[in-house]
Chains A and B, each alone.
With several copies, the nearest count.
Chain A
Amino acid sequence: MSTNLRPVPSAPESQISPELLLRMHELMVKARALEERLIHMYKQGDGYFWIGGPGEEAFNVPLGMLVQKGRGPQFDYCHFHYRNSGTWLAMGGDPIDSLRQMKNTVTDPFSGGRNFVGHYSRREWNVVPVSSPIEVQHSMAPGTALAQKRAGGRGITIVTGGDAGTAEGDFSTCLIWSSRPANLLPVLMIVTNNKWGISTAYQGQHGEKRISERGKAFGIESKTIDGNDPETSYREIAQAMEYVRSERKPFLLEAMVSRLYGHSSASGANRMTDEADCLVGFERKLEERGLRSRKEMDDLRARFTAQLQEAHKKVRDEPQPDGKTIHDNIFADRDLVREN
């Protein structure tokens, strides 16, 4: 790894309450168990493709806990990419729905079996459809933020993406449109930097010392944090969000994270041993601080694993969409997004 990517110093001691830490841990375990189940499904042939966010839980879970979820410009708009399962769960998503999308059942609430796993979408929560093309969400984000700026209130637009994806012009579009002096926009731009784009290493492709520095020329507040530490993540995300909510200005947050199972099932979806596991680190801390014992944590993990196994069984029996339905829902006849 190039010196560009020296480890990010962690933030000072936490002020986060023990309850919150435990809740965060629970969600991280749940998210990991979900991803492991999904990988298992893939390997069993219960789904054609897996992609997700194992290794990013320490960042994605706090993010989801801090999203102001709801419908319309008073709430946060979420333009996620395909590694946000932890965020989704922390927002209150039901893991079985991810299994449904994995198995492309008609019951998949995000796309009815049309889209890949991890491609969330829910109008009730302002989660716009995740799409596979890298970085396009960054060109759309200013649009929802514009509506929020005009509406007043504290709703913000959150857009996430990976490190390699910042090479697309859309990343630059988001920087430019969010920082226009004529209309600064409440956009929280998040880069989860796992130092890889599929098989392509970060260091050969990025002349930037840190991706977050790309905000500086535009006067955008920017920061790079250790996304492997959930306490740091929680605090930093909360701080960045507060800035965006109250100042109505953009913020660029880069989080250094791990990629624990490689890129996707296309690269085998096997456990990497050379990447730090945020869950291991966090659990050690919780144990040291006497907040949760190893046994409690193992039980928790076992409980989620069992629940997901049940869910898997259930989903296996759910129906596949009918071929004739491909023509359904091409055009809407009502303006659903404007109805209350």
Chain B
Amino acid sequence: MSNMVQAIRMALHVAEERHDLTDVFGEDVGPPLGGAFTATQGIKCAWNTPLDERGIVGASIGLGLAGCRNVGEIQFCDYAYNTIDLLKLAGMMYWVSNGDWNLPMTIMTPVGSGIRGSIYHSHSFDATATHIPGFKIAMPSTPRDAYGLLLSCIVDPNPCFFLVPKALMRVRNAPGEEIPGEPGDDRALSKLIDAPLGDRSKWQPQWPETPDLFVPFGEGRTVRKGRDVTVVSYGRTLPLCAKAAEELSQENLDVEVIDLRSLWPYDWERVKESVSRTGRVLFVNEDTEVTNFGEHLVRRTTDELFYHLAAPPKLLAGAFVPGIGLADNLEMASVPQLPSIRAAIAELAVMEA
């Protein structure tokens, strides 16, 4: 069964074979490495760019303008912050030309903490991305969703962000959630599509037959049904929320967990329906907590559901500090972890109405 990088690779393969994906490019994306996280190994249309993120985003726009479906990678989202103007331009291309020039392009980039990446390899990008109008934004928490969301990004006629939680790169699907067609055995799959160590010049991947499986934008997933509290998250913190919910079920707390999966557009109907039932909602993400996308969700909740609330809507997010420090203690204290998530849910569950 695939892990998330393998799922990404398979989606890229399917897209270059069947959906006219012409270019996958970025720093170290082509041979011999196939990406800092190996997500682009074996992809025929993958190539290495100069070390220049502005060039990468610019080329992605240019290719899109020329009708080429493409995926430009920023090696770590931390290195996208000198390109926000270009991203904003991409997001406005269709609007500014009043519907004349649409722009198919995908910016793929690893986000978030979890690998002790220290200050410049731990950033989140969801707050920044959701403040850029005109982009669709996907952020999977399972390999299968990564596969389906990336395919949706690639065929979409608009600019898309595909944000990959670093911490989940090696996580595998839950049983029963395989990508159809992939071998069930991890070792078997690895043999087929992981590049060997050492000389790779003669290596050819053997792709399993996997189908078109699009996870549409704007469709979240209820990971766990519950009556008492709604928890809405995405990316690295999502499995932690699910775990916390499971643990709390032993304390007689019935927690509903929603994986947003796509941040723009997002599945407000699902959130609304759930919060209307539970009256309590916790939003969890790991971006720094001031001017955070979770605050948007809190605002929308108070806007539309104020009179349904049994307790204040809450946000648990990253500390407002300049970076995530390297030492274990520093990273753990900077972004939500299982204990802090569990505590936040438990606290919210008993707040007076």
**Which chain A residues have a beta carbon within 8 Å of chain B's beta carbons?**
48-49, 72-73, 77, 104-106, 110-116, 121-123, 128-129, 131-136, 138-148, 150, 157, 164-165, 167-170, 173, 176-177, 180, 182, 197-200, 204-205, 266, 320-338
Contact = CB atoms under 8 A, between A and B. Distances in A.
Contacts of B121: 132
B325 A197 contact: no
Interface string B302-333: 00000000000000000101110111111011
A113 B94 contact: no
Contact of B327 (A104, A121, A204): A104
B330 A321 contact: yes
A332 B155 CA distance: 12
A328 B92 CA distance: 12
Contact of B28 (A123, A173, A199): A199
A197 B97 contact: no
Contacts of A111: 96-98, 325-326
Contacts of B33: 198-199
Given A321-B325, A330-B133, A115 B100 contact: no
A91 B54 CA distance: 30
B239 interface: no
A330 B100 CA distance: 11
Contacts of B97: 110-111, 121, 123, 129
Contacts of A129: 93, 96-97, 101
Contacts of A131: 89, 96, 119-120
Nearest to B90: A140
A336 B27 contact: no
Given A144-B65, A147-B63, A326-B321, A115 B326 contact: yes
B193 interface: no
Interface residues of B, number: 72
A169 B23 CA distance: 23
Which of B49, B64, B104 has the largest number of chain A CB atoms within 10 A? B49
Interface stretch (B6-14, B78-86, B272-280, B342-350): B78-86
* Closest CB pairs A-B (n = 8): A143-B62, A139-B58, A323-B333, A147-B66, A332-B102, A167-B50, A199-B33, A112-B98
Given A116-B118, A326-B330, A205 B50 contact: yes
Contacts of A123: 97, 100-101
A144 B62 contact: yes
A128 to B, nearest CB: 5
A197 B100 contact: no
Interface in B204-220: none
B58 A143 contact: yes
A167 B56 CA distance: 11
Contacts of B120: 131-133
B59 interface: yes
A334 B319 contact: no
B79 A173 contact: no
Contacts of B68: 146-147
B58 A199 contact: no
Contacts of B63: 143-144, 146-147
